[in-house]
Structures are given as C-alpha cells and as structure tokens.
Amino acid sequence: MRIHSGNHSARRLPGHRRAALVGLAIALLGQAMLTAAARRVQDVPLDLERATVADLQAAMGTGALTSERLVQGYLARIQAISLGGPAINAVRAISPTALAEARDRDRERAAGQLRGPLHGIPVLIKDNIDLAGLPTTAGSLALEGSMPIADAFLATRLKAAGAVVLGKANLTEFANFTTNGMPSGYSSLGGQVLNPYDASLTPSGSSSGSAVAAAAGLAAVTVGTETSGSILSPAAANSLVAVKPTVGLVSRSGILPISGTQDTAGPMTRSVRDAALLLTALTGVDPADPVTAESAAVTGIDYAALLSDTALQGARIGLVGNAPQGGAAAVYQAAVEVLKAQGAELVPAAVDQGNLPPSILAQEFKRDLNAYLARLPADAPMRSLADVIAFNTAHKSEGAIKFGQTLLVESQAVDLGDAATAAAYEKAREEGLQVSRERIDAVLTGDRLDALLFVGSGSAAIGARAAYPSVALPIGYNPDSGRPVGITLLGTAYSEARLLALAFDYEQAAAVWRPPSDINPSLFRNVIIAWPEEGGTFLPALHRGGDGD
C-alpha cells in the first residue's frame, strides 16, 4: 500500500505537501514497530471478518466495544492483511482524522445521541471519491498530490449518518479507463490488488480495493463506483453483496468521473442488510448533481426496513442466459432450488444485449474529467486530461503508463465542439439509454417479472447503458477451485428496495456466504491478526501540515 510515500512524486509537490507526505510515510513505518505490541493483547472481542453492522452496533450498544477501538481493530487487520501477510493491497490511504471521528462518535453514543445504524461504523471509500484531508488519486501517479477542496457529497452523507470514513481503497487506475488490456486492480500509484479468495484470480475492477477490503474484513462496509461493471464484477469475484444503484439515486459530485450518463457509486458489503443500511445513508438529492433530483420520490426510503424473508413468495424471476459449466453448475442449481423453495417462480428469459448503440464513454470522459479537475484548488497538479497524458508520457520510466494509455488518448482526441461529433455523441447517448431500457422493460413487463437474474455480473453492460439498478449476490463456491460464484438481479429504475428484499430472502434461506480465510486458508495461515490493547493507539496520529522539506 502506498500511502504518500516520500518518492519522486513527493518531491514534485510544494513544500507543505512534501512535509505531509513524509509525515504519513513515517507513520506507516511506525506500524511495523507497533505490530509486536498489538499481538500481545486480550482475546479478540469480535471476528471482524464475519461481523455485520448489527453485530458491531450490539457490541457498542452494550459498552463492550467503542468506535475508537473498532477503528483500531480494522487498522490492525489492514496492517496484518493488506500491508503485511498476504499483502492483498486493498487499502491505499488511511484518513488522518479517522480515530478522532471515532472518539467523537463514542462521545455522542455516551450522551445518547445516536445518528443511526451506521453510528461509529468504519467505512472505506474508493480512491476516486473526494475526502477532505486526503488526495483523490484514481490510482494515478499524476494525481498523487491532488487534494480536493471538500468531501464528496456521499462522504458528507456517511459522516452525517455517524459512519467513520476510515480511508481510501485501491482501484483500477482511472476506474479502468486508462488503457485496453490493463489488469483489473492495477494502478501505477497503488500497485496490484489481490483477490483474497484466490490470489491467482483477478479481483476484477475497477472497485477492486473496495471489494477486497469488504471481503477480507478491512472495514465493516465499503463504497465502490461503477460505470459499466465496476461494482458488480468485483462483487462477483469476491463473494460480496453489492448494489449498483439507478443513476441519480446516489450523488456523483466530488467523484472523479468517467461518464455523467452512467457513473454511480454504491455499497459493497458482506450481507444484504448491511448493503441496505449503507444505501440508505448514501442516497439524497444533491443540487450539485442535478440528476439526483429524479430520485426525490424515493429519497428517505429506509431500505433495511423493507427487507423481508418472504419477498420471494409469488415473485416471478426471469433466468437470463445459460447456467455456468463445471463445478459452478451445481452451485447455481442449488441456488435455483433455494429460490423455488422460497416460493419464487422461475421462468426462462432472453434479453438482447447485442448491437447496442456505440459506447459514449470516450466522448464523456474528457469533458467530465476536465470539469472535475477545474473545480480543484489552484495548486492542483493536473488541470486537464491533456496534462495527465503529458505527465504519463514524461514519467513512463517510473511506471506511469506500464500498460499504456490508449483510452486516455482516445478521449483526448474527441472534440465535442465539432457539430458532427456532438450530434453523433448525442444520438448514441439517447439511443443507448432508450434501446437498453426498452429491451429490459419489454422482458420485465411482457413476462410480468419482478427481476431478471444473470449469472455473475452478466447484467452489467446493458444495465449500465440503461442506468438501471442491479444487486449482486454470492451463491456459493466452486467445489473444484473454491472460487466464488454469484448472481445479479436487475430491475427497472429505482427498484432497489424490491431487488434487495428478494436478495435478502434468498440470502437468509441459503446461508452460503463464507469468508476468504475459510475458502482460502493457505493465504492466511501465517497471518497474525490481533486487536490492539484497549486504550492503546495502534497507529500514531497521521501528521499533515507544516512547511519545509
């Protein structure tokens, strides 16, 4: 994990930024010395690899656990698993204010001032989401010192709900819009994220770090982002529940973008209830993101309150595509039998995913990225996509573009100021939304279906073009390899409550989720994970500020 290392990139920054980076590097070095002390501790109060938000709230409610100590527990796991041990490299940066925020939440709890079910709960967010006090890098060396002005809207929502934003998760560079053929989970700044269920298997992307951190219990819950598959695909690869919301349900302001048409952020968790709790906290109308005005009718919904273990009774679900082959076939069939046993009617369904209008990502990326960069402080290292491309070219020997930057260059060449180019873009955008929605809606309404079920993340492409919601759900593990097997439920706009209820009913009946250390014990066999002693400080306060070198 690179947390502001004092390397060549640090030396290019102003003096006060260099001091901040060096301070954080020193803090990281101190972790190794503190590890030994952290191992001499009392019995672990909770198994964080399995603990749900409800488990954590129960422990804090009885006084057996504080939010501060919970943060320390997750920091200890990050040290042992992400930085050390198997080095799954899921976390890129720790918030310098996380412990202080946890103490504030503890004081509020002691005074009876609970903000909600996420009060005191540590959350990791993807490193394309602004968090004041930490750079938003998108995994790019070019943005290593790019500090936002303020929290992203969703970060303010998390804090208002009482959550403690623990830090930033690694990701595929520029949310997998850097080049063709780059490995998922790789970035020039953050390195390669590893899948804890199978280190030889892709963690998938681009929300790789968010997914791996959630799977390995490095935070209670995490937040990812998706343009086309970047939440759903890593969720399937890492045995997670995840929600790719309707575009407009969660604000994108303060998130480094790819596409204003398709981008969204969403929950990545180990249980449906936790996903529902997190989604409830994330939603809200944001004047800075006008698309969220379309969600006004569902703003304030408590998605967790609408979960039901009888939601599948009488539900009609369309099975799209062929069942998986090999060892995964039995896992899939077992899931089908659970759905039937819970009262669902399963019907074959076909959704035409071919010959969609051309993608509009290259057309929107330069426009939207430049708009994001223009809102950064005056001393921001990059002001445009052209600056990023030039930086990468100049620093190729330092690994800035190990796999190239074909997508960045392609987008830079787009000129929406040209009338013909703009007209073609608008046509592809409108037709992409219309055609994909018509194809999904025709099957849902024509067959009177509550949802469409896809193997793995099969709904990602057409769901992204339609801006429709999907819920990813683990259904077991391939008996031949141990690799996770998942499904995705796709619905029409703002059907998240129904999709989550269906997923919850299945989850409660199937009870198949298992943590990485169960499925892949060899990766964790020599890892020592311990809670820091109560009242101790596992990590020193992360210094930020000051001048000089």
**Which residues carry out catalysis?**
126, 206, 230
Count of C-beta atoms within a 10 Å radius of residue 543: 14
Q: What is the Cα–Cα distance from 388 to 222, expressed in whole angstroms?
A: 28
Count of C-beta atoms within a 10 Å radius of residue 438: 12
The two three-digit tokens of residue 455, written as one number: 């193997």
The two three-digit tokens of residue 399, written as one number: 């690994």
Q: Is the peptide bond before 481 cis (omega within 30 degrees of 0)?
A: no
- With residue 210 as reference, give the H or E element that holds it: helix 208-215
H helices present in 40-186, as ranges: 53-62, 67-77, 98-110, 153-160
Judge contact between 54 and 103, C-beta under 8 A: no
- With residue 488 as reference, give the H or E element that holds it: strand 484-490
The CA distances from residue 333 to 312, 407, 499, 510, in Å, are 17, 39, 20, 12
Query: Are β-strands 241-244 and 470-477 bridged in parallel, bridged antiparallel, or unpaired?
Result: antiparallel
Contacts of 400 (CB under 8 A, 6+ apart): 140, 141, 142, 188, 391, 392, 393, 394
Contacts of 333 (CB under 8 A, 6+ apart): 323
Count of C-beta atoms within a 10 Å radius of residue 403: 15
